[in-house]
């Protein structure tokens, strides 16, 4: 079994890397913190023009009709660049929800505009920090009206619509709500990484529409979250690798006692350990991408493993980046804090690492049974 990407997929990755190197240096991410803007509209339009937003969308709905593997390699490069755009919310979550559960009318209405970058979607499940919110859903959907509060919602402040988990009778359903309609209140919340803003969204008898069948809601939500977990893991992998590369280069250039500090044994051991953990996470990410692209029954376990390993290694890489840069690593002028902010945000965006570890144990126990 070959888990490596094909030459065509590697070409997609190289093209994405070259574009982002020219149009999305780390200064673009930093500018979001300093300007107060929610995301880079220039980069968003560029991603739409290159067809990235419609990578997994069939051509009949205005997409490029590629697939999850191509989307995974693009996600890795976006993670390397710390791209300040609502890509994950709109592409991994909202677009995927419509592809999996939307009616033909809903697909025709929303998918072409999502692929073109004309509208932005998000996925609102959590009702408390650190959880996916599917099991503890209290938001209600009755008679076409939605009531409840979702927090935190990634990119909720910039999204045009949201796919929301809500209770409808005895079932948890997926419903689509226009965030610009009456009865919807969107309040930005303070976020550790302002380049990927969060929001509190309150629905008070807001008009909404069912997405798919009501009874299919929990299974569909879990499948959407698992797929997003794999793709987000690639973002985390790209961020961890970039943090490692920048740190290694700094250690090679910084001299003490007449030689590079990278030559000191204690430093070399820390870098070697981190490199091994990144490669282990990469292996888990590749397995998750294979399971996602093949619709394999092992996706729930593969997604959990990829999510856990990528979250842990990106957090560790960003922490090591700060510490190995010494005193300057803690300053605003250096880019270390950008990686730490993004690592901490992504580690919670689909549920905490501890919640995914519980999922993994439950899923492995179920598979064994």
pLDDT at 89 over 90: yes
Q: Please, are residues 80 and 242 in contact by the beta-carbon 8 Å criterion? A: yes
Instruction: Give domain 218-368's CATH number out of 3.40.640.10, 3.40.50.1820, 1.20.140.10, 3.40.50.300.
Output: 1.20.140.10
Per-residue model confidence as pLDDT tens digits over 5-55: 889 999 999 999 999 999 999 999 999 998 888 899 999 999 999 999 999
**In this model, does residue 146 exceed pLDDT 60?**
yes
Residues of the chain with CATH 1.10.540.10: 7-115
Q: Which of 76-90, 186-200, 322-336 has the highest mean pLDDT?
A: 76-90
pLDDT for 138 equals 85
What pLDDT score does 135 carry? 66
CB-based burial label for 58 (10 Å; 0-12, 13-18, 19+)? middle
Looking at the predicted structure, is the pLDDT value of residue 348 above 80? yes
Segment 274-290, tens digit of pLDDT: 999 999 999 999 999 99
* Mean pLDDT over each residue of the chain, to the nearest integer: 92
SS3 163: strand
Where in the chain is CATH 1.20.140.10?
A: 218-368
- Topology adopted by domain 7-115: Butyryl-Coa Dehydrogenase, subunit A; domain 1 (1.10.540)
Whole-prediction pTM:
0.94
Average the pLDDT over 105-122 and give the result: 96
The runs of H, that is alpha helices, within the chain are: 7-23, 26-35, 41-49, 68-81, 87, 96-101, 104-115, 217-253, 265-294, 299-324, 336-346, 353-368
Contact 126, 153 (CB under 8 A): yes
Bridge partners (DSSP) of residue 178 are 161
CATH 2.40.110.10 domain residues, the chain: 121-212
Q: What was the pLDDT predicted at 130?
A: 54
Q: Is the pLDDT of residue 257 over 90?
A: no
pLDDT of residue 360: 94
The token pair at 345 is 């945000």
pLDDT tier for residue 368 given thresholds of 50, 70 and 90: confident
- Whether residue 129 is predicted with pLDDT greater than 70 in this model: the reply is no
User: What would the pLDDT profile of 167-219 be if each residue is shown by its tens digit?
Assistant: 988 888 999 999 999 999 999 998 899 999 999 999 999 999 999 776 577 88
Dist. CA 270–CA 218, nearest whole Å: 42
Which class is 121-212 in CATH?
A: mainly beta
Cα 2 to Cα 198, 234, 306, 368: the distances in Å are 38, 18, 18, 25
């Amino acid at each position: 079994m070959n888990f490596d990407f094909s030459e065509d997929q590697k070409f997609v990755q190289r093209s994405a890397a070259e574009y982002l190197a020219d149009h999305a240096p780390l200064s673009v991410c930093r500018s979001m913190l300093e300007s107060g803007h929610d995301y880079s509209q220039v980069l968003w339009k560029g991603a739409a023009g290159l067809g990235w937003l419609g990578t997994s969308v069939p051509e009949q709905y205005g997409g490029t009709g590629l697939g999850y593997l191509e989307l995974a390699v693009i996600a890795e490069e976006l993670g390397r660049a710390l791209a300040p755009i609502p890509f994950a919310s709109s592409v991994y979550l909202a677009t995927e929800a419509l592809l999996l559960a939307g009616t033909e009318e809903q697909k025709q209405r929303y998918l072409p505009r999502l692929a073109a970058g004309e509208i932005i979607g998000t996925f609102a499940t959590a009702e408390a920090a650190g959880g996916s919110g599917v099991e503890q859903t209290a938001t209600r959907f009755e008679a076409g009206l939605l009531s409840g509060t979702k927090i935190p919602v990634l990119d909720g402040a910039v999204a045009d619509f949201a796919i929301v988990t809500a209770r409808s009778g005895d079932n948890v359903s997926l419903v689509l709500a226009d965030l610009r309609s009456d009865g919807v209140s969107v309040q930005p919340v303070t976020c550790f990484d302002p380049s990927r803003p969060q929001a509190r969204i309150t629905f008070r008898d807001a008009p909404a529409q069912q997405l798919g069948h009501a009874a299919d809601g929990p299974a569909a939500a879990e499948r959407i979250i698992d797929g997003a977990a794999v793709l987000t893991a690639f973002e985390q992998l790209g961020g961890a690798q970039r943090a490692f590369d920048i740190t290694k280069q700094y250690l090679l250039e910084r001299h003490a006692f007449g030689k590079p500090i990278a030559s000191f044994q204690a430093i070399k051991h820390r870098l070697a350990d981190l490199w091994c953990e990144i490669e282990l996470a990469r292996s888990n990410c590749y397995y998750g991408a294979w399971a996602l692209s093949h619709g394999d029954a092992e996706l729930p376990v593969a997604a959990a493993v990829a999510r856990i390993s990528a979250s842990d290694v990106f957090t560790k890489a960003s922490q090591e980046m700060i510490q190995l840069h010494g005193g300057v690593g803690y300053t605003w002028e250096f880019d270390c804090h950008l990686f730490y902010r993004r690592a901490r945000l992504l580690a919670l965006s689909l549920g905490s690492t501890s919640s995914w570890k519980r999922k993994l144990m439950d899923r492995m126990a179920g598979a064994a049974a």
